[in-house]
Structure 1
Amino acid sequence: MTTALITGATAGIGAAYANRLARDGRDLVLVARDTERLAASAAELTARHGVRVETLTADLATEAGIEAVEQRLRDGDRPVDLLINNAGFGHRGTYLDVPVQDELDMLKVHIEAVLRLTTAAVPGMRERGFGGVVNVASVAAFLPRGTYGATKAWVVNFTLGIARDLAGSGVRLQALCPGFTRTEFHQRAGMGTSSIPGWGWLTADRVVDDSLRDLARNRPLCVPSKRYRAAVTAARLLPPGGLGKISNTAGRDYRKP
């Protein structure tokens, strides 16, 4: 039986990955900051699907948190065959409204943690000739969206680059770029969502299903749904900033949620 490690595993897309992978019979390592919520998620998944679920409390905005997950990924006696780098967050304010430390925390979680955890996991996978890494980015990677969009653009380019470097090794890489998804993301950031049209929303289960389908097909870039694939194509073809204003307005509603 294979094992998947998921960061940001207790809510939203991370929880959807946990449920789907447990249903498929994979053992799990769930990583998040909230110990009680981790325990509740583990108990529910074990009871429902009969898989082994390990929990690891870690804040990936801290050195200690990243090191704890790195250590678990390097444990050759308990190999992880699928890494889902899902942990992340958004800011409600625009540039100069957000404290620099909050921006640095975002860089730590979205970039440094993704780099270090991927680097901790991949050597063992390559040695075994089997494994996968999904780095959760966003369609914001293709639009000017401040630090958030910049970090997600890094995730996409990093993932596509190492996918090419590891071609033929048996290790599959994917940058997942969902659009607006019904999770706790906006609520936690204090963002309203009234400006996002109903047709713009995806479900976390849909995002995960598309991701795992494309990972099985060894597709290194996954943009769930035709409407968001069309948006990404348009963003690549239009002059820089062509869709940025729309994205900023819809994605960061500063009114009280």
Structure 2
Amino acid sequence: RGWRGSDPALAAAAEAWEKAGATVVWVGVDGVVAGALRCEDSMRASAPRATALLRAMGVHVVMLTGDNRGSARRVAKHCGIAEADTHYGLTPERKMRFVTSETLALETKWRADDGWAARARRRFFGRATLAMVGDGINDAPALGAADIGAAMGVAGAAAAMETADVALLTNDLARLAESVFLGRECVRKIRQNIAFSVAAKTLVLMLSLAGVTGLAVAVVADVGTALVVILRHTPR
């Protein structure tokens, strides 16, 4: 901070850079200001499309970054992320605390309703899931604290890759939305299979108790149900 006062013109330029979304690195020689460097991250081209796809799927997108306010707001505006959901200047520890706090809030909200319908939802569907996406070593603690940690990028930090639950070896952020879609489809198919199997076997059991069918039909129904489930989801 003392360096800013030593060269008012350079300090004014640095302030303008920060407001424009850049990060300023001060350079000094023997304790004397020698200049300043303007550093600006390039945004991934797929970021706006990825956030749009996630929002269309009902996912609430929040940005956590260690960059300054100007840089964070520039990226958030480009990606359509609300200012209230943009958190900047975060250290790795603060990112982790934010994720932990949000996870606890989801858990508390999930358990707040004690009605029979809420208990049924908790039994069969669970609460909302919090996922953290990152590719740097600074993201590793937050990735570990989230329900699901997803490491992105071919050149992602080793610490992030090891901590994350999912590693997407691509720089295309739109693949993240594809992963969410595939995960939801997988869970939906599992529930359909369980419902179909239980319904079919319950029907056969009732018919057997009524004396309409025998053991052979029950065996065929059991094996047939398993085959239907397998063949129904075999890739074509």
TM-score (norm 1): 0.37
Higher relative contact order structure (alpha carbons within 8 Å, sequence separation ≥ 6)? 1
Structure whose alpha-carbon radius of gyration is higher: 2
- Name the structure where helix makes up a greater proportion of residues: 2
